[in-house]
Amino acid sequence: MRFESKDSIDNLRATEYLSIIINLSERIFHDLKNSLATILGVLQLVPTDELPSECKYYMEQIQVAGLECKEQLDRFHSFIEGYDEDVDRCEVFSDIVFAALNMIKYRLIRNGERNVILNVNIHSLACVYCNEYKMRQAILNILINALDAMEESGGVLEVGVYEQDNRIVLDIIDMGIGISDEDMEKIFQPNYTTKGSKGTGLGLKVSKSIFEEYGGKIEVKSRLGEGTKFTITFPISTSPNEPSGSSI
Ligand SMILES: Nc1ncnc2c1ncn2[C@@H]1O[C@H](COP(=O)(O)OP(=O)(O)OP(=O)(O)O)[C@@H](O)[C@H]1O
Ligand SMILES: [Mg+2]
């Protein structure tokens, strides 16, 4: 499926768009994994002892690259697995935050060279009624944006979960490039990206729509050149079977 214009994306509900992407991704994942298994399998059949040392070296390089590809695919799969549109339930919110943080671990190791320090403060184990997978993806996008913003500068990525006024609050604070007042108006618009071909500009639109589906409110404060703070709040769920706050 190809989206011809910005309008066609606007007309799709963001979560439907996510669902289409996930389904396509699953198919691509399986095809690539099968092809890679063939490449790595055939490589093992080559009698390398009989090859000139130069060829042997090249074969080893192919194998290393193939194994790296496999690792990347496995990481990608853990990103898309668990997608299930129908399952909404009372989830311990901080568990979802940890699961999302787990998925950016590799970026922290890579960014380690540029000194990105993660500072996590969890002060609530309250539940939010939601789909664990969708919520994880929505939070993940905010975290990835924060890391992207600190790509050059490095700095501290602060993640906090606490309760305030009967709501659970998630703060994601970076020390990155920041957002100007003018750009702030555009960041939730579909297709708005400052990342060139690396970004689709759909992340925040999808995240916001998922947060709102679960009664979430999102607020952004930023200073150009200093950093950005995303604050997302949700009603606390007290019943395992009912949407947040409905039993209060
Ligand atoms: N923490 C941040 N610091 C600075 N700019 C940000 C931050 N978060 C979002 N932005 C700005 O908002 C834009 C839109 O973000 P969004 O997540 O929607 O798309 P994207 O990250 O560009 O691409 P993708 O669709 O792959 O997520 C970004 O390109 C960036 O300019
Ligand atoms: Mg993004």
pLDDT band at 72 (very low <50, low <70, confident <90, very high): confident
Distance from Cα 187 to the centre of ligand 1, integer Å: 7
> Rounded to an integer, what distance in angstroms lies between the CA atom of residue 129 and that of residue 112?
35
Provide DSSP, 21-71: HHHHHHHHHHHHHHHHHHHHHHHHHS-GGGS-HHHHHHHHHHHHHHHHHHH
Cα 164 from chain centre: 26
Strand partners, 227: 223
pLDDT digits (tens, 9 = 90+) for 153-209: 999 999 999 999 999 999 999 999 999 999 999 999 988 999 988 888 888 998 999
Q: Specify the residue with its C-alpha closest to ligand 1, atom 8.
A: 145
Q: Considering only CA atoms, which of 132, 176, 172 is closest in space to residue 153?
A: 176
User: Cα–Cα distance between 103 and 147 in angstroms, integer?
Assistant: 12
What pLDDT score does 85 carry? 58
**Using one digit for the tens of pLDDT, what is the confidence trace for 26-65?**
778 878 888 888 888 888 888 878 888 888 888 888 888 8
> Ligand 1 pocket check: which of 145, 177, 191, 230 to mutate, most ligand atoms within 8 Å of Cβ?
145
pLDDT of residue 28: 83
Mean pLDDT of 118-124: 97
- Pull the structure tokens for residue 36: 């890679």
Residue 235 has pLDDT above 60, yes or no: yes
pLDDT of residue 12: 63
Starting from the CA of residue 206, give the closest ligand.
Answer: 1
User: What tens digit of pLDDT does each residue of 79-119 get?
Assistant: 776 665 568 899 999 999 999 998 888 777 765 556 899 99
Give domain 89-235's CATH architecture.
Answer: 2-Layer Sandwich (3.30)
161 contacts 168 by C-beta, under 8 angstroms: yes
- Residue 67 CA to residue 76 CA, distance in Å, equals 14
The residue extents of the domains of the chain are 6-80, 89-235
Residue 91 forms beta bridges with which residues? 128
- State the residue for tokens 């404060």: 221
For the purposes of burial, counting CB atoms within 10 Å of the CB of 179, is it exposed (0-12), middle (13-18) or buried (19 or more)? Answer: buried
